Amino acid sequence: HPDNVAALGEEWQPLTEAEAEAEAVKVRQAAMIEQLKALRDAYEFGTVTTPQGKLQIDERSQGRLNRALEVGRNYEKLTGQPFSTAWRMYDNSWAAPITVAILEGWSLLIGGQVQHVFSHYGVLYAQVMSAQTLAELDGIDLREGWDVGASA
């Protein structure tokens, strides 16, 4: 406020158009980065499409998958018999038989999705932070490019 500045012994000057734009860019960048983080988290822990159907990949589901894979490998090693189980998919249907090979394939899909998500996040983050104008920020579509067979 001009009165506060005057009390400090300085003359108040309104922001120039360029300064106002720069401030607006900073505010928009901060909002876009928050959106970007939410999208990153949604795709990292959403679903992935497998040949057996959609698979939930939240942290709890990933833990279950890793435990099932470890149990399956141990079972096969200790018994010499193939491991097979059923698995509840994202739509609550059951997929069977689920073997160690299928569990390994799912792990690769999830790993690829997570790798893609963080790589894509980095690209978009750099685009947002390097933008100098509101028009440049308007040209960045935060929703595109996340999907490699996964969904939020």
pTM: 0.77
Q: Which residues of the chain have pLDDT under 50?
A: 152
**pLDDT on residue 17:** 85
What stretches of 50-141 show up as alpha helix (H) in DSSP? Answer: 59-79, 100-130, 134-138
Average pLDDT along the chain: 90
**pLDDT on residue 13:** 75
